[in-house]
Copies of this chain bind each other. A is one copy, B any other.
Amino acid sequence: MRIGIDIMGGDFAPDNNIIGAIQAQKELGSKAQLVLIGQKEEIEKSILKNQGNINDFEIVHASEIIGMGEHPAKTFPRKPDSSIAVGFGLLKLGKIDAFAGIGNTGAMLVGSMFTVKAITGVIRPCITTVLPKEDGGVNIMLDVGTNADCKPDVLYQFGMLGSLFAKHVYNINNPKVGLLNIGEEEEKGNLLTQAAHVMMKDTKDFNFIGNVEGRDLFSDKVDVIVCDGFTGNVVLKEAEAFYTQIKRRGINDEYFNRFNYELYGGTPILGVNANVIIGHGSSSPLAVKNMLLLSYDVAKGNLSEKIKKAFA
């Protein structure tokens, strides 16, 4: 298994990426080979500085960098030797089994759509977040930002995508899929969720359990929570705001500690023809490490192939 990572992306490149990679390689051992993509000299310098061993990694040189503030769609084609573009090139050729990065999110999305492309039949690829369940494990919520306006059939597909992700990466058998709504009854909601509910209610594509509400976000009654990207993004940032207050107030609690995004590291882009994983631009080394472990799980679960098959 070969996992590529963009070393030049994120607010603390290259060091946070390198430290995270060193830690991940230790955990992965011979199960996976990390492929570090970026400016070779910088990468080697950072590995040495951070007490790593250059020989533990494969390094693929890329001379250019797409900056965090650069316009994704314009910059991506103009910088073919950027670490992101080189990473997608390797991914497309099958030279890596997954490509992970914490750089310019837009460029990672553009790279996904332009290079490996959306899976035929998937209307809108999307991204996820995890919400810790009160009784252990996590709820997977999608979409959380790439699709602010959704049609009912897009939400329906999120149900399929989330279910496959939960099954093949989190190893949840027959994951329970809920539609985020503002009431339990079928007829509740806005026009979007009312129509989506009708599409979902008798589906055989996933295990639909009905509407769930804001109060169920951390509940064990569901595994996958489907919503439009606007709602998902607000929910995600509200959870982050809450966690920020928990930390600020010095509360150390086993459950609330699990809201730390560093423990999860990132999200796959669901619905594209290869395994792409993105993380926060401000990722710590721990977050980068966990993004790489997630990337391994995604590649091991063969997620993009499983999705392709489901939509075939």
Contacts and interface: CB of A to CB of B under 8 A. Distances in A.
Interface stretch (A40-48, A89-97, A116-124, A235-243): A235-243
Given A235-B238, A237-B215, A230 B189 contact: yes
A134 B218 CA distance: 23
B235 A190 contact: no
A72 interface: no
A214 interface: yes
B215 A244 contact: yes
Interface string A214-241: 1111110000000111110111111111
A242 B253 CA distance: 13
A241 B255 contact: no
A230 B190 contact: yes
Given A145-B182, A182-B145, A182-B229, A214 B190 contact: no
A27 interface: no
Q: How many identical chains are in the complex?
A: 2
A258 B133 CA distance: 23
A312 interface: no
A61 B100 CA distance: 69
A46 B84 CA distance: 71
Contacts of A245: 134, 218, 255-256
Contacts of A249: 253, 255-256
B215 A241 contact: yes
Given A134-B248, A251-B251, A253-B249, A214 B230 contact: no
A109 B214 CA distance: 22
A154 to B, nearest CB: 13
Contacts of A234: 180, 182, 213-214, 227, 231, 234-235
A134 B219 CA distance: 26
Interface string A254-285: 01100000000000000000000000000000
A222 to B, nearest CB: 12
Interface of A: 134, 145, 148-149, 180, 182, 189-191, 193, 213-219, 227-231, 233-242, 244-245, 248-249, 251, 253, 255-256
